[in-house]
């Protein structure tokens, strides 16, 4: 029996596994990204992990799908200038894995991979126009239009995390200020909380901790949650105004806590979506769980070689 080898490359960890044709993870293992070293060493580690996963699953590798932190060049199968893994920049992982395993290999941005997975095997199944947003340390996402992954010029990945919400807001790594990511990501939430006089000198506050404090009636944490809900709603309203999708699917670590505030987010969206049919846009939580990125990597292969 055959299955798809899946490789999920993030700034923190690399996950490798085998995923069957229904999106079920058959075997997986992880390694810290930074411990993988320069690309020649990392390549051998990923190859060894794929071989082990295939052996554990009892399936041969029919193809390999990769979801990676960006920027990447999905058409040529190369890493771009990776901030998290600069020593891998410019490497053609697709060529390397194809040469080793002699199977078709495809790569996409990890958020695009998540969008493909949710649109096929998750809560967005059957939606022709879908936007997937993942909110964690940063904000990412992918767009499915007419059942296909949306690409920009030269196959590029849209960065709607860098839509400007407040022009005089916090500086963003993109070079502008007040981007959605600089206001509504988990890191932005922590930075805002730590900048308040009541929490002066306190560090290490995670978004998860802030939500827990809000649940314990910490008034400043409650303000942080209200602020997060507002800015998430504004960014989502912009996406609805631009794309009028059938559904928006929300994933990522923040949504494990923020998911209970979907009604409040939608109330914010209603204030800015008067001229589009917001009532027909579903707002849902992602459904694929902890293995979403690995499942997404496998779906990349299907989308490239089977669904076309």
Q: DSSP labels for 213-264?
A: HHHTT-HHHHHHHHHHHHHHHHHHHHHHHHH--SEEEEESTTHHHHGGGHHH
Is it the case that residue 63 has pLDDT exceeding 80?
Answer: yes
| Contact between 202 and 194 (Cβ < 8 Å) | yes
The reported pLDDT for the residue numbered 173 is: 86
Q: How far apart are CA 11 and CA 304, in angstroms?
A: 24
User: For position 307, what pLDDT does the model report?
Assistant: 59
Tokens of 21: 């044709």
* Contact yes or no for 260/73 (Cβ under 8 A): no
Cα 45–Cα 49–Cα 52 angle in degrees, nearest 5: 140
Distances (CA, A) of 26 to 20, 22, 110: 7, 11, 20
Q: What pLDDT, in 10s, does the model give residues 90-139?
A: 999 999 999 999 999 999 999 999 999 999 999 999 899 999 999 988 89
Which of residues 62 and 203 earns the better pLDDT score? 62
pLDDT score of 265: 96
Q: Mean pLDDT across the stretch 255-265?
A: 92
Q: How many residues does the chain have?
A: 308
Lowest-pLDDT range of 44-58, 78-92, 93-107, 257-271:
78-92
pLDDT exceeds cutoff 70 at 179: yes
300 membership: H or E segment, kind and range: helix 292-305
């Amino acid at each position: 029996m055959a299955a798809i080898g899946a490789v999920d490359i993030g700034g923190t960890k690399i996950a490798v596994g085998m995923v069957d044709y229904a999106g079920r993870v058959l075997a997986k293992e992880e390694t810290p990204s930074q411990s993988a070293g320069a690309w020649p060493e990392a390549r051998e580690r990923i190859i060894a992990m794929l071989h082990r996963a295939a052996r554990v699953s009892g399936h041969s590798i029919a193809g390999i799908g990769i979801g990676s932190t960006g920027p990447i060049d999905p058409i040529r199968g190369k890493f771009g200038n990776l901030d998290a893994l600069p020593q891998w920049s410019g490497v053609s992982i697709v060529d390397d894995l194809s040469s080793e395993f002699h199977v078709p290999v495809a790569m996409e941005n990890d958020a695009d991979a998540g969008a493909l997975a949710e649109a096929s095997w998750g809560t967005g199944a059957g939606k022709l126009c879908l936007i997937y947003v993942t909110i964690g340390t940063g904000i990412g996402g992918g767009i499915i239009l007419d059942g296909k992954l949306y690409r920009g010029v030269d196959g590029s990945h849209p960065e709607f995390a860098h839509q400007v919400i407040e022009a005089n807001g916090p500086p963003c790594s993109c070079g502008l200020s007040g981007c959605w990511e600089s206001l509504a990501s988990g890191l932005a939430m922590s930075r805002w909380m730590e900048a308040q006089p009541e929490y002066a000198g306190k560090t290490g506050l995670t978004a998860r901790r802030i939500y827990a404090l809000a649940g314990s009636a910490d008034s400043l944490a409650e303000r942080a949650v209200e602020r997060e809900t507002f800015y998430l709603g504004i960014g989502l309203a912009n996406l609805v105004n631009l794309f009028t999708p059938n559904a928006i699917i929300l994933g990522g670590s923040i949504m494990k806590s923020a998911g209970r505030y979907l009604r409040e987010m939608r109330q914010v969206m209603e204030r800015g979506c008067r001229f589009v049919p917001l009532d027909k846009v579903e707002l849902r939580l992602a459904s694929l769980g902890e293995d979403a990125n690995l499942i997404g990597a496998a779906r990349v292969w299907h989308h490239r070689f089977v669904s076309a």
